[in-house]
Structure 1
Amino acid sequence: MDAQSTTAAPATDAASYLDLGITLALNSWPALTLAVQSNWGGPTSSDKRDWLCGAISEMLSDRPETDAEDLEDVLIQVMNDEFDVVVDDESAGNVAVQIMEFREQTTQGEFGAIQELWETWQKKSQQKSTATSMFKEVDARDEDQETDGEEDDSEGEDVEMGEAPALVRAPREKAEPEVDEDGFTMVKKKR
């Protein structure tokens, strides 16, 4: 489940809020984000992250005895197996604790923390898309300025470019051959 796709169906019950919390926690985990962006899990890295979100959701519902340590072990194992990343910092444990806190909160009907995280995620996504569109706009303006006043050669016609300037090479000074006292010419290695 992709954090972007949850905009279509906002969370309405405890299970969907928990799924949203899991997705946001994993999408906010720098180690996993870097692994996905770098395609360390191959071309399907993003799909593997989405699969992991679903797998954790299933694990928490099918095995209610799961605790933060169990979840941390799963996160570390998946990062190693699927992305060839050895997570040796505390980040997997922090993500596991965050997900377990979300599980506890949703069980009690408290959705505020997940909702707040979701709103922050949306704001960041909007800022990124705004920055991207601004970059594209500036890039498009630059392209327009380059083509102003020029004929459109998009029809595939050859354009007469004129003659290329001749390359002028300065002649090398030829070293005079050295002749030793016996009359033999010295042979020197070229550099």
Structure 2
Amino acid sequence: MATQSAAPPATDAASYLDLAITLSLDSWPALTLAVQSNWGGPTSADKRAWLCGAISEMMTDRPETDAEDLEDVLIQVMNDEFDVVIDDESAGNVADQIMELKEQTVRGEFGTIKEMWEAWQAKSAQKSTAANMFKQVESKDEDQETDDDTDEDEGDVEMGDAPVRAPREKAEPEIDDDGFTKVVGKQRR
């Protein structure tokens, strides 16, 4: 994964709004799970990118769009494109967040979006570090498998005879005056 620059790539209100839409959708667990699981098919990530663009266009072309309209679009796209029925309040929460961020960009306030961007970068860096660590461990495992394979190719190794242990003496059972055999636990023998 390529590292992102320290500052958001946005330069004006429209760019900040696009960034806010993308970050909001990327942080929506239902959509993230749908994309990671390829519930929308092999082009699931492309569908998420398309959704970001479609919402941005909707905000530009129809400025009267409100949170309810946006929620309806999110629910419909999740159902149509990912076969996911959203029955929790998450679509409404994402729609509310996007509308609030839109209002902030209209006022020229970009602080929240910048904070979201920095949090996203930090999370991406952690995922990248974890992925690299996994690749290193996986690489070491492959190297060990290669070493193990070469041992098998060299043929059987003579191990010698196993050491011989003297058999333990079996304790004679104790018989009491009435002719009963006394039971002794293994630890007392």
Q: What TM-score do the two structures reach when normalised by structure 1?
A: 0.73
- Aligned equivalent of 2:26: 27
Gaps of 5+ in 2: 157-189
| 1:76–1:86 Cα contact (<8 Å) kept | yes
Give the Cα separation in 2 of the matches to 1:46 and 1:111: 26
Shift of residue 144, structure 1, vs aligned partner: 2.6
Q: Kindly provide the CA deviation profile for residues 72-97 of structure 1, in whole angstroms up to 9, marking residues without a partner as x.
A: 01100111111111101000000000
SS of residue matched to 2:42 = coil
Amino acid aligned to 2:58: M
- Aligned equivalent of 2:110: 111
Amino acid aligned to 1:23: T
| 2:13–2:108 Cα contact (<8 Å) kept | yes
Are 1:100 and 2:107 counterparts?
Answer: no
Give the Cα separation in 1 of the matches to 2:75 and 2:2: 26
Amino acid aligned to 2:111: G
Shift of residue 40, structure 1, vs aligned partner: 1.1
User: Which of these two proteins has the greater Rg computed from alpha carbons?
Assistant: 2
* Greater helix content: 2
Shift of residue 7, structure 1, vs aligned partner: 3.9
The 5 Å alignment of 1:61-140 reads: 61-140=60-139
* Cα distance change of structure 1 residues 57 and 12 upon mapping to structure 2, 3 Å threshold: same
Q: What TM-score do the two structures reach when normalised by structure 2?
A: 0.74
* Cα distance change of structure 1 residues 150 and 43 upon mapping to structure 2, 3 Å threshold: closer
Matched pairs, number: 154
Structure 1: which 4+ aligned runs deviate by more than 3 Å? 4-9, 145-152, 159-162
Shift of residue 39, structure 1, vs aligned partner: 1.1
* Cα distance change of structure 1 residues 132 and 5 upon mapping to structure 2, 3 Å threshold: closer
* Cα distance change of structure 1 residues 6 and 58 upon mapping to structure 2, 3 Å threshold: farther
Give the Cα separation in 2 of the matches to 1:146 and 1:6: 32
Shift of residue 10, structure 1, vs aligned partner: 0.7
- Aligned equivalent of 1:53: 52
Determine which structure has greater relative contact order: mean sequence separation of CA pairs < 8 Å that are 6+ residues apart, divided by chain length. Answer: 2
RMSD of equivalent CA atoms: 2.5
* Cα distance change of structure 1 residues 80 and 150 upon mapping to structure 2, 3 Å threshold: closer
